[in-house]
Amino acid sequence: MRLFLAAGLAVLPLALAACQPSAPEPASSAAAPDAAPGIALKDAVIQLPAVAGRPGAAYFTVSQTGGAARKLVAVYVEGAKRSEMHESGMKDGMMTMAEVKEVALGDGKSVEFKPGGYHAMLFDLGPSLKAGGTAEITITLDNGDKVSAPAKVQTVSGDAGHMDHM
């Protein structure tokens, strides 16, 4: 009887372990940071500065096709140490530029980040940002969701670093 009891006690921890809940499954791609439902990021371009050491800029279009109204609160560009969202405009006949902390999005609306309007200023650009290449751009929404897309890197003249020879 003691032998049977000892064998039963030896197997008990294994049986209990089998009843324990398994470790949580990794999050599916639907819950990944760049899976913000109803938000699209497209036409992303990084414009290198005309003078090395100066800030660059990022332009893109973000649109919302459903869900609660969101706000864009940050822009990150691979290869830039820091970025700020800015808005350019005219005031008293003078071009102005001011930092903005958020940009409102809305259902069925698109917001263009383009020269003369909203844009992201990119500071301390690294050597990985070269005309003709691409870099990842990631936007962050007010609820913490993120959306990423590749951005074409180009010079101020708009070319991607390619020169045609005759």
Strand ranges (DSSP E) for 38-93?
A: 39-47, 56-64, 71-77, 80-91
Indicate the pTM of the whole model. Answer: 0.73
Domains of the chain: 33-154 (2.60.40.1890)
Query: Which of 4-13, 22-31, 45-54 has the largest mean confidence?
Result: 45-54
Buried b (16+ CB within 10 A) or exposed e, 110-141: ebebeeeebbbbbeebeeebbbebbbebbbbb
- Reported as a single tens digit per residue, the pLDDT across 33-73 is 456 888 999 999 999 999 989 999 999 999 999 888 899 99
3-state secondary structure of 17: helix
136 vs 147: CA distance, rounded Å: 10
Mapped onto helix, strand or coil, the DSSP state of residue 93 is coil
Please, what is the average pLDDT of the chain? 81
Q: State how far the Cα of 63 lies from the Cα of 77, in Å rounded to an integer.
A: 19
Work out the number of other CB atoms within 10 angstroms of the CB of residue 83. 20
